[in-house]
Amino acid sequence: MTPMLRTRSYLFLILLVFYSCNDHLEIEANNNPQGYADSQVVGVWKITAFTSNQPYDWDGNGTTETDIYSTWSPCQKDNLFKFVGDKSGVYKLDCNINVNGVWQIFNVQQLEFTPDGMSTQVEKFISMTSNEFKTTRTEVIPGGPSFLVTKTWTRQ
């Protein structure tokens, strides 16, 4: 085999290997939904902010506000949500209400949690770091408008 033919053979072999592995080289540069994992949520979290996309009288005092969290009582602000790896949960909803429950991440985009004896809360993740995540959901006022509300959860 001549040196020129040998060089072309090596070049062909290198190109063949590169193109055959090309599909494996894509790193999250696709149109598939990127989601959230259970391991990111497991732990103890506290709701530290709660806002609405438009003003409403959230506390019934005659004044509209978008900062729902500021209308909460100190007991409501005394909340903790413990999401355990086996999909169980312990929820301290205020000073005097502690309940068990379950939780899951649905479709890699939504947090669903159900305190025992209460309805399931479904919230869409909008961002997450190791110490904080934000969720959003639509809140419908019976006989009235609907709002997009956003919660900020802080790791404890």
Reported as a pLDDT band with limits 50, 70 and 90, residue 24 is very low
More confident residue, 36 or 3: 36
Quick one: pLDDT at residue 26? 45
Average pLDDT taken over every residue of the chain: 87
**pLDDT above 80 (res 108):** yes
- Element housing 21 (H / E): helix 3-21
Residue 73 neighbours by CB distance under 10 Å: 10
Quick one: pLDDT at residue 18? 52
Residues 6+ apart with CB under 8 A from 73: 94
Asked if residues 8 and 1 have their Cβ atoms less than 8 Å apart, the reply is: no
Mean pLDDT value of segment 92-99: 96
Residue ranges and CATH numbers for the domains of the chain are 38-155 (2.40.128.540)
Q: Which two tokens stand for residue 4?
A: 């020129």
Do residues 100 and 81 make contact, with C-beta atoms less than 8 angstroms apart? no
Joined together, the tokens standing for residue 119 give 């309805």
Report which of residues 15 and 106 the model is more confident about: 106
| In the predicted structure, residue 3 carries a pLDDT above the cut 80 | no
- pTM beyond 0.85: the answer is no
